[in-house]
Amino acid sequence: MRLGVVILAAGMGKRMRSALPKVLHPLAGRPLLSYVLDAADRLGSVKTVVVYGHGGEQVPTALPDRACDWVEQPERLGTGHAVQQAMPLLQEIDRILVLYGDVPLVDPGTLGRLVEASRDCPLGILTAELGDPTGYGRILRDSATGRILRSVEHRDASPEELSVREVNTGFLVAERARLQGWLDRLTNDNAQGEYYLTDVIGLAVADGEAVASVQAPTIEEVSGINDRVQLAALERYFQRRVAEDLMRGGVTLADPARVDIRGALETGQDVTIDVNLVVEGHVTLGDGVRIGPNCLIRDSVIGEGVEILANSVIEGAQIGPGARVGPFARLRPEARLEADTHIGNFVEIKKSRVGVGSKVNHLTYVGDTEIGSGVNVGAGTITCNYDGANKFKTVIGDGAFIGSNTALVAPVTVGAGATIGAGSVITRDAPPEQLTLARGRQISVPGWERPRKQPKT
């Protein structure tokens, strides 16, 4: 069976009150539509067609690397009309599954059950049972046999029909040829004046066909997003589910409600995470890592036994085992810390390697630098790596000691075992095993007075 997928992503999303198309709003750091495309890929779709409309080319432009076809619905005349736009691209497909770009958490396993349950029927639909079905289309069944008769939209339903709690999620799978015939017969004789895809259910029944159905196990996986309140609620559900997976994998979370994973997090055993961690991109935490409160970690690898103290930002870094970082530290892309290093408060490391056991503990900027092992970098040190047009490298040898408030003007090399006196501005290479000083001569001026403010008249 050649399965094709149509993803409806043309809606304006008026209630989002945003210039950004609704399907591009982020859930856990990724566009809603990307989750639905992932589901189609996992189902083994031979061809996936995304129907877009509102926002024009913003939607395909935002996801340029996805293996799908894009087709525009220039006039938004309803879901049935939207599927019609995709049909010419699906002529070689046996069965078509319709998904929604603003329903991101639908489980591929649930969709697989729907496809399997409808193998012997020309049409299958996904339903859900809701305590409060307000706003959803209702599934109407024959009271004697339980056979599905049709779906009625909430705004078109009678008071008796509104009492039904089984709702139509809109997800359906159908034989391509039969679906084409039903789409051709749709009318817009309804309160919205639109061509409803859900009307194909009644058309199938009128043709004497049985309609298969599968019920979604959770309402969250078929919940659509229409406003920012619903988006926030689904974000919290998603994050809670991720937090539970982390805890089952051996991670201690101080508060599972205050961790946000906006990418992929791999963890070893006995990892401890305090509140308000944000993870972006791909992050790996080794065994025994401890992370303090209010940290951001993006695209980084952190070795075993590392401690990240409060309010630290780590981006594109590699941190060796036993290192300690923070509080209030920033590691920028291509920062590499070897084992047992210490990076302290208000220290920024960028595109630099810090060797085994070296310490950069206070108020320091290190950029484009190679620091050897056993080095101590004093408070207030900066590597002056940029002349306004070009970047230059600083090299600090093993065992060097850099005094406080030193400026190392790159390109420059500090030899192994060298000592740089506090307050120095080093513009030439400092030899190994020697003390190097570069200070202006200190003078005192007798009789000098500090300027004073004149009294107001």
Give a three-class secondary structure readout of 184-210.
HHCCCCCCCCCCCCCHHHHHHHHCCCC
d(CA 154, CA 388): 64
350-405 residue pLDDT tens: 999 999 999 999 999 999 999 999 999 999 999 999 999 999 999 999 999 999 99
Q: Report the predicted TM-score, pTM, of the whole model to 2 decimal places.
A: 0.90
Backbone angles phi, psi at 248, to 5 degrees: -65, -25
Query: Range with the lowest mean pLDDT among 78-92, 139-153, 401-415?
Result: 139-153
d(CA 149, CA 51): 28
In whole numbers, what is the pLDDT of the chain averaged over residues? 95
d(CA 423, CA 413): 17
Q: DSSP letter at 430?
A: B
Q: Mention every residue, 6+ apart, whose C-beta is less than 8 A from residue 393.
A: 368, 369, 370, 385, 410, 411
Comparison of pLDDT for 211 and 54, the residue scoring more:
211
Mean pLDDT of 149-164: 90
Burial of 272: CB neighbours in 10 Å, binned 0-12, 13-18, 19+: middle
CB 115 within 8 Å of CB 124: yes
Q: What is the CATH number of domain 230-436?
A: 2.160.10.10
For the chain, the structural domain boundaries read 3-222, 230-436
Whether 93 has a pLDDT exceeding 90, the answer reads yes
Three-state secondary-structure class, residue 112: helix
Burial 364-376 (b: 16+ CB within 10 A, else e): bbbbbbebbbbbb
29-54 residue pLDDT tens: 999 999 999 999 999 999 999 999 97
CATH 3.90.550.10 is the classification of domain 3-222:
yes
Please indicate whether residue 154 is annotated as part of the active site.
no
d(CA 101, CA 417): 61
